[in-house]
Amino acid sequence: MDILWFIPTHGDGRYLGTNTGGRAADHTYFQQVAQAADRLGYTGVLLPTGRSCEDPWITAAALASVTKNLKFLVAVRPGLMLPSVAARMASTFDRLAEGRLLINVVAGGDPYELAGDGLFVSH
């Protein structure tokens, strides 16, 4: 069985749905989470996408060099970039990270958030 964890690129709270006891979204914390998941034998980690999240591609690239086996499930929204650019980014990342890229195609989302990115499509 493959089990993945999550890099909280929008911050991490102690209580679900609140900022109470929350940790800031910063590289040091992301690195701690990624290295712990790598050391504990998780297959990979999800790098989410969304208006409150750090960029998943850049975050994954920054964490690939400080982990050994961990795969990176990078969330992408079709329509936010040209397919040829996405393919080039995926190919480069996967090659430089030695085959550790996974892609999460996010096909829907909140219409308000999608509109903020210029996507005016239904969920």
Domain ranges, ordered by start, for the chain = 4-13+21-116
Residue 110 has a pLDDT of 82
What pLDDT shows up at residue 17? 63
Q: Which residues, 6+ apart, have CB-to-CB distance to 70 below 8 Å?
A: 34, 37, 38, 42, 43, 44, 45, 63, 100
pLDDT at 14: 72
pTM of the full structure: 0.89
Whole-number pLDDT of residue 87: 95
- Give the pLDDT score at 97: 98
- DSSP string spanning 32-80? HHHHHHHHTT-SEEEE--STTSPPHHHHHHHHHTT-SS-EEEEEE-TTS
DSSP state of 118: T
pLDDT of 113:
83
Q: What is the pLDDT along the chain (123 residues), one digit of tens a residue?
A: 999 999 999 888 776 666 677 788 899 999 999 999 999 999 999 999 988 889 999 999 999 999 999 999 999 988 888 999 999 999 999 999 999 999 999 988 888 888 888 888 776
Supply the pLDDT for residue 40. Answer: 98
What pLDDT is recorded for position 81? 87
